[in-house]
Homo-oligomer: A and B are copies of this chain.
Amino acid sequence: MKQKVYLFSEGNKNMKNLLGGKGANLAEMTNLGLPIPQGFIITTEACNDFLHKNLILTEDLKLEIKNNIFKLEKITGKIFGGTNPLLVSVRSGAPISMPGMMDTILNLGLNDDTVEILSIKINSSFAFSIYSRFIEMFSDIVKNIPREKFACIEEELKKKNIDKDNFYRELTKEYKNLYKITLNEDFPQDPEDQLFQCIIAIFNSWNNNRAKIYRKLNDIDENMGTAVNIQEMVFGNLNNNSGTGVAFTRNPATGENDIFGEYLINAQGEDIVAGIRTPLPISHMKETMPSIYEEFLAYGKQLENHYKEMQDIEFTIENGKLFILQTRNGKRSPYAGIKMAVAMVKENLISKEEAIMRINPKDITILLHGSFSQESLNKEMPLGKGLAGSAGIAVGKIVLRSEDVVDPDSILVRTETSPEDLSGMSIANGILTAKGGLTSHGAVVARSMGKCCVAGCPTLTINLETNKIKIGNMSLKEGEYISIDGYSGNIYKGKLKIDLSDEIEEFYEILNWSKSIKKLSVRMNADTPEDCQRGLRYFAEGVGLCRTEHMFFKTNRIWPMREMIVSDTLEERKSSLEKLKPYQKNDFIEIFKILKEKPVNIRLLDPPLHEFLPTTPEELQKLSKLMKISMAELKYRLQKLEEHNPMLGHRGCRLAVTYPEIYLMQCEAIIEAALEVKKLNINPNIEIMIPLVATFKEFQFIKNKIEENLMNLYPNIKDINYKIGTMIELPRTCLIANKLSKEADFFSFGTNDLTQTTFGISRDDSGKFIEEYKEHHILEKSPFESVDIEGVGELMKIAVDSTRKENPNFKIGICGEQGGDPKTIEYCHNLNLNYVSCSGFRIPIAILAAAQSNIKK
């Protein structure tokens, strides 16, 4: 028969699955020789047996427990229910920490007899206070008698002014009475009986609702089960030579290598948590209990060196003797995390690889953007919740119209954003929208600007007549302050306090190490010279996606673009294109100057044309005047451009089949810009990317048109280093990738559209149901955040494998939004892609994730 109960000395830290996290660490520390109150652990397997077999403790298990009580009696020299009574704590401990999920029972082993013995040995007040506490905990956790009832009894009793010596004795009597009245039975007096009941309660608590929900939310295996730790009691509340505390071996907020923590004299652990008495900083111990302080410091170092991680340690001092009750890797701020990781490398405690693996890529975002202080989050209830559109936080005055955003102290609040809103978005501190998903215009642009955005808040309505907004039931006027959280999607009234970590040296150290370790290139999605400059600051290795259409959104450029779209004849269209060409050319000159020899991937016009069209009556008027056509004619032409499903409509390279002159103009602008910077001795590395290709002939047709035109116009085109490739953003394209690779120079996965088509889900419309999908755990994450490996990833794999089989060096990258997501980056690394590309602010994350992927592999 398999062993179901382990003495601390029989385990070690690698037995977490069997002994739980707490138990394994207690065992490890025992073997390290630390002063640990001894005990034993009932395994998770015993828990699972119990849960699967009738919910009773088997006689075998009971016997094994009894044997271990006997062993513990030998170790401690005390006897369970005896004259030198052994008291124990009973605690749950799952392999994965499930905070607050399962409860603790202290002082077990007390009964009407042992309490009297302790009364004599120590004093009556202490003995009955811990007995009454035990009764209260047992009644609550094992018997479900509400704690409030006990609190009431205590309050009433306090009014009676009973002297200290008798108070707890009286209280114990009344508690036992409550127990008897409620359950119609006496409080159990046999310590073994007490223990078995506790164990059953803890086993059962694995299946309480809170625990189930927590596991579901955190994707924890239902069959893991919890261990139970039975440990000798030590008392920090015995006298003034006793106490209890918690400490971190380093500062978890700043990362400083200095012990950090607090303690209370004459108290138990719960007293620190309760916060009734103010604890003292641990440094104070140095003066009052210098030898214990030194002893504790030494144990702290020993543990940190042993675990090679900052430790979060609980300790108790019983009558001048130090006990360690628990140790675990400590939680830290993102800032401290980076500081510590780098410091530990320099202390030769860990390797660079280990340091890199310890940084959560998400923390980088928080580091770069700051976060709301925990304090103010504790105070404020969110008014509503949208999607976490773009990381960061923002505080500002509500502004409802883009043109009214005059300073950064604003949050632009719109139903949906459009290219018209770009100027306002670029000034405002953050963006809040009522409609649109994670890849709506607002969210995409905000991410590319590194600006906080909460998108698609379903309870938000905007009234442009009264200049008020409503979030849920709360009505707010334009000009009032709100705070938005781009990590959680929460929206708050007023100004929340922000914790900001400045950029730190160690951040760049980690990035540099990561750069040298990673294999994947990391490029930026950058549409303007400004974007490019920002991305280079974060070590981008080139441009992975320059969306040429974004160059048209600036005010002076949108009008010829609109003219072009509404043109009815080739001549009209060509004349508008001629107006646009100088803008494009100049932008490319600037970009090439910034990027120098680094690759620049330029995507030719992609979105459906109607995205550029005006919507307000004033703008329509303006366009009709500009084009010298009647409003009726204009409206007729606009109507013709309408589509049922624009995402699947007349866009991407389909525009180039029907209106080849558009791509020809764009390519002319690119090559002319390249010829221009050649004069400055810059030799740009150009990748021209044709979007939305579905068939081989389609790509060939367009490529031929482009090359023919370029050859005709520029006799010295051979001096220019340019390639023509395609974006893979349709399932069909993945299937014919090998064939396409004979004609294309490179591929880049456009995983936004690839996800839309593979799943058949429109990003912009998914908001209506995707939350319910998550709620029912049909989807754990939006596939627009992290690449859906089973579907989209499989298609990518088909494309990569079939292409590389014949052409192992074919260049393939990814430029979808997911290119900045660590899980996606890992997948891309394993697929052997050449690069990932993401918006500038996510580049440090991508570099870190790329390094982690390589280390993991």
Contacts and interface: CB of A to CB of B under 8 A. Distances in A.
Contacts of A445: none
A697 interface: yes
Interface stretch (A69-77, A290-298, A752-760): A752-760
B776 A757 contact: no
A761 B730 CA distance: 10
A787 to B, nearest CB: 12
A795 B757 CA distance: 13
A714 interface: no
A214 interface: no
Contacts of A753: 760
Contact of A732 (B765, B769, B772, B788): B788
Nearest to A648: B762
Contacts of A288: none
A286 interface: no
Nearest to A416: B644
Contact of A736 (B648, B766, B791): B791
Interface string A59-74: 0000000000000000
Instruction: Count chain B CB atoms within 10 A of each CB in A646, A777, A791 and give the residue with the most.
Output: A791
Given A650-B768, A778-B657, A729 B790 contact: no
A695 interface: yes
Interface string A692-717: 10110110010000000000000000
Interface residues of A, number: 48
B645 A646 contact: yes
A760 B692 contact: yes
A578 interface: no
A615 to B, nearest CB: 14
Contacts of A759: 694, 730, 732
A773 interface: yes
Given A692-B760, A736-B791, A760-B729, A701 B776 contact: yes
A544 to B, nearest CB: 21
A144 interface: no
Copies in the complex: 2
DSSP majority for the A interface?
helix
19 contacts: A643-B765, A644-B762, A645-B762, A647-B648, A647-B760, A649-B765, A657-B772, A694-B759, A695-B791, A701-B776, A730-B759, A731-B758, A731-B760, A731-B791, A732-B760, A732-B790, A732-B792, A735-B794, A757-B758
A735 B791 CA distance: 6
A644 B643 CA distance: 9
Instruction: Count chain B CB atoms within 10 A of each CB in A645, A647, A650, A764 and give the residue with the most.
Output: A645
A764 B645 contact: yes
A378 interface: no
Contacts of A658: 768-769, 772
Nearest to A645: B762
Contacts of A151: none
Given A643-B762, A648-B762, A650-B769, 11 more contacts: A643-B765, A644-B762, A648-B761, A649-B765, A657-B773, A658-B772, A695-B790, A729-B760, A732-B758, A735-B791, A735-B795
Contact of A769 (B657, B701, B765, B792): B657
Interface string A641-663: 00111111110001001100000
A647 B645 contact: yes
Contact of A764 (B644, B731, B773): B644
Nearest to A642: B765
A122 to B, nearest CB: 59
Interface in A515-537: none
A757 B731 contact: yes
Contacts of A760: 647-648, 692, 694, 729-732, 753, 757
A779 interface: yes
Nearest to A702: B778
Instruction: Count chain B CB atoms within 10 A of each CB in A643, A759, A764 and give the residue with the most.
Output: A759
A704 to B, nearest CB: 11
A779 to B, nearest CB: 7
- The 5 residue pairs across chains A and B that have the minimum distance between CB atoms: A732-B791, A648-B762, A731-B731, A645-B762, A649-B765
Contacts of A791: 694-695, 731-732, 735-736
